[in-house]
Structure 1
Amino acid sequence: MRAKMQITHIEKFEGSPNERLHFTAVSKISGYPADGSDEDNSYAKFSPQGNLTLTIANPALHGKFAEGEKYYLDFTKTD
């Protein structure tokens, strides 16, 4: 399964370099074009709501994310 998520907020912690990324499933309040030309439309149609929160403790990733950025999240079952 693949989801398309957008960073809505980046939380910083006083005294810690860690960051908490808040994601929400892509959506558009004003709706999408009827011809399906907006890719987000395909994701919003089948996953209209979703939230994800990740805390990043890897120093190499601190400061590498920005609010508004969109990411594909792939879910692969493991043993």
Structure 2
Amino acid sequence: MSAMRAKMVIERVEKLENVEILHFRAVSKSTSYPPDSSDEDNTYAKFSPMGSLSLTVANPNLIGKFLPGEKYYLDFTKAE
């Protein structure tokens, strides 16, 4: 079981010679959320309002598979 789940969006993909760097940020909206909390991003933004993460992808099978604007869940589970 994960200790925490974050919802992140790819802000940009930096393409280098043989790798890509994925730049993620926590989900948020520039407009207001519906008052009934029906937008899932609202729940994540409420409890994790800010965050960023950069991952370098060197696996040739994954290059080009991640696109700006795509959203992903990141599950954090303690490693022993």
TM-score of the aligned structures, taking structure 1 as reference length: 0.95
For residue 77 of structure 1, report the CA deviation from its aligned partner.
0.2
**What's the CA shift string for 1:36-67, capped at 9, x where partnerless?**
01000000000000000000001110000100
Moved over 2 A (4+): none
Aligned counterparts of 1:74 and 1:42: Cα–Cα separation in 2: 16
- Partner residue in 1 for 2:20: 19
Q: CA RMSD in A?
A: 0.6
**1:7 matched to 2:10:** yes
| Paired letter, 1:52 | L
- Partner residue in 2 for 1:32: 33
Identity %, equivalent residues: 66
Give the gaps of 5 or more residues in structure 1: none
TM-score of the aligned structures, taking structure 2 as reference length: 0.94
SS at match of 2:18: strand
